[in-house]
Amino acid sequence: MVYYLKEVRIIKQILTAAKALFENAKQNISLLANASAFINQEIEKINWVGFYLYLDDKLCLGPFQGKPACEVINLNEGVCGFAFKEQKLTNVPDVEQFEGHIACDNASKSELVIPLTKDNFKIGVLDVDSPILNRFDPKTVELLKQIAELVVKYYKL
Ligand code: SME
């Protein structure tokens, strides 16, 4: 119980810190750059985190942390294309089992992709990779979902 309450407190602190960081962003590139740096700092055991933005019917690489990554993803490709096209949070416990997965960093073993939409405008996706199989447990998914919601809230259309 004590451990659980401590965890809840930590999650609240992380979300409060995220809000404080995001709400003052003057423009979207700063917002997304700091959001990827923030997630990289706060979430353990990840090797890549960043944004792909919807442009000309493709997903284009946006601000990220990690190794250089593929610049353009077609909507019929990869976990990112799938999650965006279906507009569905996609949690892949083992990327080798996902047909069409695009390996930007061979270290990536599991992946979480969260579509970002604001007022019917499709912004793109948040993509997080981990070097550990099945990294994205329900608590981590929930936390990343809430951080993604804050990004959407402060994203300017
Ligand atoms: N693995 C992704 C491609 C982007 S990298 O992970 C940074 C995919 O399959 O869509």
With a 6 Å cutoff on the Cβ, whether 107 touches ligand 1 is no
pLDDT at res. 4: 80
Q: How confident is the model at residue 6 (pLDDT cuts 50, 70, 90)?
A: confident
pLDDT at 139 over 80: yes
Is there an atom of ligand 1 within 6 Å of 35 CB? no
At residue 133, the pLDDT reads 98
pLDDT > 90? residue 35: yes
| CA trace torsion 143, 146, 151, 157 (10° rounding) | 150
Which pLDDT band holds residue 5 (cuts at 50, 70, 90)? confident
pTM here is: 0.97
Distance from the CA of 6 to the center of ligand 1, in angstroms?
33
User: Would you tell me how many other CB atoms lie within 10 Å of the CB of residue 76?
Assistant: 9
pLDDT for the residue numbered 3: 73
Ligand 1 contact via 78 beta carbon (within 6 Å): yes
Ligand 1 pocket: which of 54, 70, 72 to mutate (most atoms within 8 A of CB): 70
Cβ–Cβ < 8 Å for 91, 141? yes
46 lines ligand 1 (CB under 6 A): no
pLDDT over threshold 90, residue 125: yes
Q: Which atom of ligand 1 is nearest to the CA of 66?
A: 7
Q: How far is the CA of 129 from the centre of ligand 1 (A)?
A: 8
Q: How far is CA 39 from CA 74, 96, 146, in A?
A: 25, 24, 11
The CATH number of 8-154, from 3.40.190.10, 3.20.20.80, 3.40.50.1370, 3.30.450.40, is 3.30.450.40
Write the pLDDT tens digit of every residue in 86-117: 999 999 999 999 999 999 989 999 999 999 99
pLDDT of residue 74: 98
